[in-house]
Amino acid sequence: VPHIADTKPGGKYHMTDIDRVGGVPVVMKHLLDAGLLHGDVLTVTGKTMAENLAELNPPAPDGEVIHPLSNAIHAQGGLNILRGSLAPNGAVVKVAGLSADQMHFEGPARVFDGEDGAMAAIMSGDIKPGTVLVIRYEGPKGGPGMREMLAITGAMKGAGRGGDCALITDGRFSGGTWGFCIGHVAPEATDGGPIAFINDGDKILIDVPSLKIDLLISDEEMLNRKKGWKPNPPRYTSGVLAKFAKLAQGADRGAITNIIK
């Protein structure tokens, strides 16, 4: 689905401007007419999406705040799924706010087991340009709960690292992130995903056009690192968070809970 709404943080306008030109129904109706939405799905009104939009009868895209598909801002949507040796089950990157020259990144890893250590390194000026910041053990199980990484992206931008570094995590991001940020890496570190075996200095390749994210080490080296590996101990051993960590599935499964077998 192409990117057609020119909204912040990557675009020019705010959601109030979307409302001014007809609101979200403008986007939905335009996508529906192009065959990009399933209009027969039921909604909370008891009617289908197509029926709701027909009653609202929203205007056509204004061409400035909301672009027509024939003049989309980007041919692909604002979110892409990357896969590769670092994220076999996928990872999510927001590309709506990236320029064309930011779609490819290769650099050495700087690894942190949790957001707090990464934040301290950024605030002390210890992150160099060209670094791929890796924050792991923040996934559905490792967090537990998949902590939002918005603060770290703001700190990177404030420290001047928002445009010349990349950030990879098994945690999640909000829509307000800025820069080259990749989240929802699956499998997560606690599940023994490749992100658990990244070492400082390892080269990481991210290429959005080819939807690839790779850890550039040999298969033999990966096997050696996995020998005798154990996940970090759980942050909670009792209570609701401990229970959630035991029941949660991966981000690629929606972090839904399941019955222990």
Q: Which residues are catalytic?
A: 174
Strand 90-94 versus strand 132-136 pairing type: unpaired
Residues sharing a CB contact under 8 Å with residue 62, sequence separation 6 or more, in sequence order: 21, 22, 26
Residue 158 CA to residue 190 CA, distance in Å, equals 30
Tokens matching residue 261? 């077998």
Residues sharing a CB contact under 8 Å with residue 153, sequence separation 6 or more, in sequence order: 162, 167, 173, 177, 178, 179, 181
The helix (H) or strand (E) run that includes residue 54 is helix 49-56
Strand 132-136 versus strand 104-113 pairing type: parallel
- What's the distance, CA 202 to chain centroid? 21
Tokens matching residue 159? 């420290």
- Eight-class DSSP state of 197: G
